[in-house]
Amino acid sequence: MEETRNSTAYCGLYCPDCNRSKAELFEQIGSLQQSLSVLNFDKYARYKADLGSSEFGEYPTFLRVLNDIKELACITCRDERNSSPCKIRKCAIDKGLAGCWECESVSGCELLAPMFKRHIGLAQNHHAIREYGIDNWSGNRGKHYRWD
């Protein structure tokens, strides 16, 4: 179950649940951006906008949003290539913990407080990791996003 261990973030989130971990999505965005560039689609969009298709006037906004989405791509925090300045990751490593679920201060942690607000299943994840172990907990995880 090394996959589960490697996909368990120090904070207790399960990386495959997160949109930011979907490498295929970011590859597709890159391919779309490249295709649009090769086609000089910006000029075509301007042409269409000049003909009265007002939606095409928003093409530059579309490109900015597409680029912003692409920049969300994430490398998991357990991946040795990750150089993220994540304070939660640093704290767990500095304390010699496999993750926040091992910390005595987890329920009152200032670093995790925003995470508990955004990810309503995080406390359930911590409980499941403690109960089933880091290699076997993922089938008992909480909701990742509020809309799940």
Q: Specify whether 93 is located in the same domain as 135.
A: yes
Q: Specify whether 33 is located in the same domain as 64.
A: yes
Percent of the chain with pLDDT over 70: 99
Q: Specify whether 56 is located in the same domain as 26.
A: yes
pTM of the model: 0.81
The stretches in the chain having pLDDT less than 70 are 1
Q: Specify whether 89 is located in the same domain as 148.
A: yes
Tokens describing residue 12: 């207790």
Q: Specify whether 89 is located in the same domain as 53.
A: no
| Per-residue model confidence as pLDDT tens digits over 61-81 | 999 999 999 999 988 898 888
SS3 5: helix
> Which domain does 68 fall in, by range?
19-73
Query: CB–CB of 100/92 below 8 Å?
Result: yes
Whole-number pLDDT of residue 1: 67
Residue 66's CB: how many other CB atoms inside 10 A?
A: 15
Which of 43, 73, 103 is the last residue in one of the domains? 73
Instruction: Answer yes or no: is 80 within a domain.
Output: no
> Which residue in the block uniquely carries the two structure tokens 């907990």?
137
Tokens describing residue 137: 């907990």
Number of domains in the chain: 2
Instruction: Answer yes or no: is 78 within a domain.
Output: no
SS3 14: strand
Q: Specify whether 135 is located in the same domain as 112.
A: yes
Largest Cα span, the chain: 64
